[in-house]
Amino acid sequence: MKAIINNIHQIDLNKPIDISIPLSNTDDNPIAWYLSKPTIQPVQMDNWTGSVAAGSSTNFNNISFNPHAHGTHTECIGHLTNEFYSVNKTLDCFFFLAKLITVMPEKINDDYQIGLSQIEPLLHDNAVCKALIIRTLPNKPAKKSRKYSNTNPPYITKEAALFIKKQGVKHLLVDLPSLDKEKDDGQLEAHKAFWNIKTVNPINQDARFEATITEMIFAKNDIEDGFYYLNLQIAPFENDATPSKPILYKIENFL
């Protein structure tokens, strides 16, 4: 099934490109922020177990996980605010023109940073994109099951996040567990720069309430850098963050 957007672009809706990491209760699941892996277990009530293998007519599982720690997730400004904001409310559009870029983090002392000098040259033609997807190198399948806790993963600098914001990007997607340094004493400078957060209690009214950050994606190497349409699918949790399934569609024709 083909779709024509704004009489300019044509995409094939039958050819989705999934850049999410699925959530499972296996050792293949990625983990961040010092947690254990998710649990998916049959409900047990009295003598009944919610498992066909255990004799039930249905499988009926409880799932315990943390969206920030256990796979691809999308978060809103409520991740940092005293007042509650739900990503299910703040994200009200789900289809965007997006650009995928690939960067090699730069080693600075003991850190690996994605800085302004790496981002700026790749966004010079970003006149209309509302979403930016950053793929980092090296880009190995092991990212899909990486255990990030206490590893000091690469991160985005405040200056780079400010530049991305100024380019009009509202939805930032990265293959990292966080925009920010793992242990930064709670500064969260890149998050705050991208969301334009100046105070959290109360939140400043010129903060970017409509903007989202999606972390722990995985874009395979055979997905070329360039422009796509992004369908940012989220689970409808009333929470600051929720599991998500970002889908890309290649632009087949410029009409």
Secondary structure letter of residue 191 according to DSSP: H
In a domain, 57, yes or no: no
User: Which CATH number is 80's domain given?
Assistant: 3.50.30.50
Query: Are 193 and 180 spatial neighbours (Cβ–Cβ below 8 Å)?
Result: no
Measure the CA–CA gap between 176 and 132, rounded to whole angstroms. 14
Query: pLDDT for 80-127, tens place per residue?
Result: 999 999 999 999 999 999 999 999 999 999 999 999 999 999 997 666
In a domain, 28, yes or no: no
pLDDT at 254 over 80: no
In a domain, 36, yes or no: no
In a domain, 136, yes or no: yes
Domain count, the chain: 1
Query: pLDDT for 238-247, tens place per residue?
Result: 999 999 999 9
- Once rounded to an integer, what is the mean pLDDT over residues 169-183? 99
pLDDT category of residue 6 using cuts at 50, 70 and 90: confident
Secondary structure letter of residue 204 according to DSSP: P
- DSSP state string for 57-104: SS--EEEE--TTTSS-EEE-GGGS-SS---HHHH----EEEEEEEEE-
pLDDT at 7 over 90: no
Residue 38 CB partners (closer than 8 Å, separation 6+): 23, 24, 25, 29, 63, 64, 65, 70
Which pLDDT score, from 0 to 100, does residue 127 have? 62
pLDDT category of residue 253 using cuts at 50, 70 and 90: confident
In a domain, 229, yes or no: yes
